[in-house]
Amino acid sequence: MKHKSQGIFVLSILMLSLLLLSACSSDTQSTPKDTVISLFGAMEKNDQPALAHILDLASMMSNTAKDYALSGGDNPRVFSNPQQILKDLTDDGLTKTRWFSMQRIIDNVEIMGESATVEVTFVDKDASKGYQTKFGLHFINNKWKIYSFNITTPTE
């Protein structure tokens, strides 16, 4: 009986190991669209560590030409450290507040080798406006990471 319970224990450990390996490898196989969906999920949960894993914060900080928050005004905000971006995307951050006040539609994906774009439309039902953008992603360290939220012109 002792050998049988040890065998079951070893088998359980092996199954758990396979399950963990499977979960890790599925993370490396995520698609750009999955990454964008994960971004909104992490924002909803105010999960800054998950956001730091999804975003290429260094690349995002170097993009000072555009403010990625909708209706950000004429002067783009400049972030001086990654923590400011994470705060902006969680809790009562300006971008989270604006993006979550609208319906979000994740649409077309275009993959070009190690980079990709994912179309995201934010729909402001009260103003009857849609803001269409393409999130920029690149494949680094065996996963897709968002490096840009590139807001384009409003559509009617």
What is the reported pLDDT for 64? Answer: 65
What architecture does CATH give domain 31-155? Roll (3.10)
pLDDT in tens, 25-66: 344 448 999 999 999 999 999 999 999 999 999 988 887 666
What is the reported pLDDT for 152? Answer: 53
Q: Domain coordinates of the chain in residue numbers?
A: 1-30, 31-155
Give the 3-state DSSP-derived string for 75-102, with helices as H, strands as E and coil as C.
CCCCCCCHHHHHHHCCCCCHHHHHHHCC
Percent of the chain scored above 90 by pLDDT?
A: 56
Is the Cβ–Cβ distance between 154 and 131 less than 8 Å? yes
Picking from 107, 109, 97, 154, the residue whose alpha carbon sits closest to that of residue 136 is: 109
Q: How far apart are CA 88 and CA 90, in angstroms?
A: 6
Calculate the CA 63 to chain-centre distance.
17
pLDDT in tens, 104-120: 999 999 999 999 999 99
Q: Is 126 helix (H, G, I), strand (E, B) or coil?
A: coil
